[in-house]
A and B are shown apart, each in its own frame.
Chain A
Amino acid sequence: MDTWRVCLAVFRKDLIAEWRTKEVITTIFLFGFPVSVAFSFAFESPLAGGEARTFAGGLLWLAFFFAAILGLTRSFARETANQCLQGLRLIPADRGGIYLGKLLSNLLFMMVAELVLVPIFGVFFDVTLWARPGWFLLILVLGTWGVATLGTLLSAVSANTRMQELMLPLLLLPLTVPVLIAAIECTAVLLNNRPMAEARHWLQLLTGFDIIFTLLCWLLFDYVIQE
């Protein structure tokens, strides 16, 4: 009960702060948009032979991933200003709720920015990402959740280091490789109009990864924000 109360309080606070500053969503979008455009020009060149559909899924997730890193870096920067994280450490409740609240807000901000980027990406790569919207949304949620779950914890870890901007991608990239591979494979099946049954194992991997790492990060968070 305490955990959810804390989670919702942190989520609500982040929504208000983001509504005022728009720094996380803007950061993700402002990075994701030019990267999508650059990828489209690079891979729609005659050298690519117009086979953008083959690797569009990979490029889409790479753009999302690097944009998300920038947004995630800002996520805990908010908590280190005025040492707010210290204030959160004083609360008489499960501190794991703080992690869940930050995870929810990061997931929401990343999803909003991605949903704006997807149509732009579709236009530039001439691919229809919404042909099977239910499946696409499922892949998007599972992939983003995977990046957000570890990204939120590692953002808290790196917030206390001197090289915050460098530390987060260094820690996050190797750990989220399974998520990226699975999300890319699922998206490729979708974009090439193959039956989604072919992506079943990748979807299972994504779901398992998300559940296991959400629980693990929730349990580890109290330790991570210790002195």
Chain B
Amino acid sequence: MTPPANPTSPRILLRQVSKFFDRFTALDRLDLAFEPGEFVVVLGRNGAGKTTLLRLLALLQQPSEGELLYDDCAADRLDSAFRRRLGFVGHESFLYDELTVEENLLFYARLYGEPPKRVAEVLQEMALEDRARSLVRNLSRGLKQRLALARAWLHRPALLLLDEPATGLDAPTRERLHAWLAGCHRQGRTVILSSHDLRESLQPATRVLLLEDGRLAFDGPNSPELPRQMQARLQGAPA
């Protein structure tokens, strides 16, 4: 199944965006812009703010301070139809354990107004056809993660937001995921993902961000030397 070309990725702008949870500052005055069609990897240690940033971009949270704009429209003024352009995979699967793989996808397909035949296509694309009748509660972590990706991909979003999507996947499936993401990127979709795995996640990226304590510590294009530099930054040594 080939996704349609020319998806309309939004331009995203963050102006002095901060996010607080009680007294904890998850994001601290971030200024960022994401152009349509970028492939961005967000790096950072645990608690650096990667998940918060992705949840803000997915409209699941609102900034405590600052502005988040999509195509120059404030995030809190976007209509519900805009969410069709977003696909989000978080730490949790958003799947119902007591439903089968196929029933979960059919449920989300109905919510997104997708025809039932789209479920069969996605099952095939994610190599889940043989598990279609399995209850989600009986799936392994890796299969659940693939199903979560299938759920986010049902409506072919123009902007893919993935929070550590390779978690729980074995090496061949991880490779397949990165090849698939690279394909999405080639078709003009924006891909923003967070990762701990420097070597693999950086391969298809065009741009790399590093967050440290909620602040932007690095923002630059991908390069062959970058994994080594980033490794040093993530381990706390000077670059």
> B-contacting residues of A (Cβ < 8 Å)?
2, 5-6, 8-9, 12-13, 16-17, 20-21, 78, 81-84, 86-95, 227
- In the assembled complex, the Cα of A21 lies from the Cα of B96 at a distance in Å of 12
- Determine whether B151 belongs to the interface, using a CB cutoff of 8 Å to chain A: yes
A13: min CB distance to chain B, Å: 5
Q: Are B92 and A86 in contact (CB under 8 A)?
A: yes
The 7 lowest CB-CB distance pairs between A and B, nearest first, are: A87-B94, A9-B110, A92-B84, A83-B92, A92-B83, A91-B111, A17-B98
> Given known contacts A12-B110, A20-B98, what 17 new A-B pairs fall within 8 Å (CB)?
A5-B111, A9-B111, A17-B99, A78-B96, A81-B97, A82-B92, A82-B94, A82-B97, A83-B90, A83-B94, A86-B60, A87-B95, A92-B80, A92-B155, A93-B113, A227-B60, A227-B61
Q: Contacting B94 at CB < 8 Å: which of A12, A20, A84, A92?
A: A84
Q: How many interface residues does chain B have, given as a range?
A: 20 to 34
Residue in chain B with minimal CB distance to A81 = B97
Known: A6-B111, A82-B94, A227-B62. A90 touches B86 (CB 8 A): yes
- In the assembled complex, the Cα of A48 lies from the Cα of B90 at a distance in Å of 59
Residue in chain A with minimal CB distance to B85 = A92
- CB-defined contacts of A86 to chain B, threshold 8 Å: 60, 90, 92, 94
A-B contact pairs, 30 of them (CB 8 A): A2-B113, A5-B113, A6-B111, A9-B110, A12-B110, A13-B99, A17-B99, A21-B98, A78-B96, A81-B96, A82-B92, A82-B95, A82-B96, A82-B97, A83-B90, A86-B92, A86-B94, A87-B94, A87-B95, A87-B151, A88-B111, A89-B60, A90-B60, A92-B82, A92-B83, A92-B155, A93-B80, A93-B113, A227-B60, A227-B61
Q: Are A84 and B99 in contact (CB under 8 A)?
A: no
Residue in chain B with minimal CB distance to A17 = B98
Residue in chain A with minimal CB distance to B135 = A20
- CB-defined contacts of B31 to chain A, threshold 8 Å: none
Residue in chain A with minimal CB distance to B104 = A13
- CB-defined contacts of B94 to chain A, threshold 8 Å: 82-84, 86-87, 90
- CB-defined contacts of A87 to chain B, threshold 8 Å: 94-95, 108, 151
- Of A16, A20, A82, which is in contact with the most chain B CB atoms at under 10 Å from its CB? A82
- In the assembled complex, the Cα of A227 lies from the Cα of B88 at a distance in Å of 16
Q: Are B110 and A17 in contact (CB under 8 A)?
A: no
- In the assembled complex, the Cα of A171 lies from the Cα of B102 at a distance in Å of 37
- Determine whether B103 belongs to the interface, using a CB cutoff of 8 Å to chain A: yes
Known: A16-B103, A227-B60. A91 touches B112 (CB 8 A): yes
Q: Are A16 and B99 in contact (CB under 8 A)?
A: yes
Q: Describe B's contact surface by its main secondary structure.
A: loop
B50-84 to A contact mask, C-beta < 8 Å, 1/0:
00000000111110000000000000000011111
B99: min CB distance to chain A, Å: 6
- In the assembled complex, the Cα of A84 lies from the Cα of B95 at a distance in Å of 6
- In the assembled complex, the Cα of A91 lies from the Cα of B108 at a distance in Å of 8
Residue in chain A with minimal CB distance to B144 = A82
- In the assembled complex, the Cα of A86 lies from the Cα of B172 at a distance in Å of 30
- CB-defined contacts of B61 to chain A, threshold 8 Å: 227
Residue in chain A with minimal CB distance to B86 = A90
B76: min CB distance to chain A, Å: 10
Q: Are A13 and B58 in contact (CB under 8 A)?
A: no
A223: min CB distance to chain B, Å: 13
A84: min CB distance to chain B, Å: 5
- CB-defined contacts of B93 to chain A, threshold 8 Å: 82
Residue in chain B with minimal CB distance to A80 = B92
- In the assembled complex, the Cα of A86 lies from the Cα of B99 at a distance in Å of 17
- CB-defined contacts of B107 to chain A, threshold 8 Å: 9, 12-13
- CB-defined contacts of B88 to chain A, threshold 8 Å: 90
- In the assembled complex, the Cα of A42 lies from the Cα of B70 at a distance in Å of 64
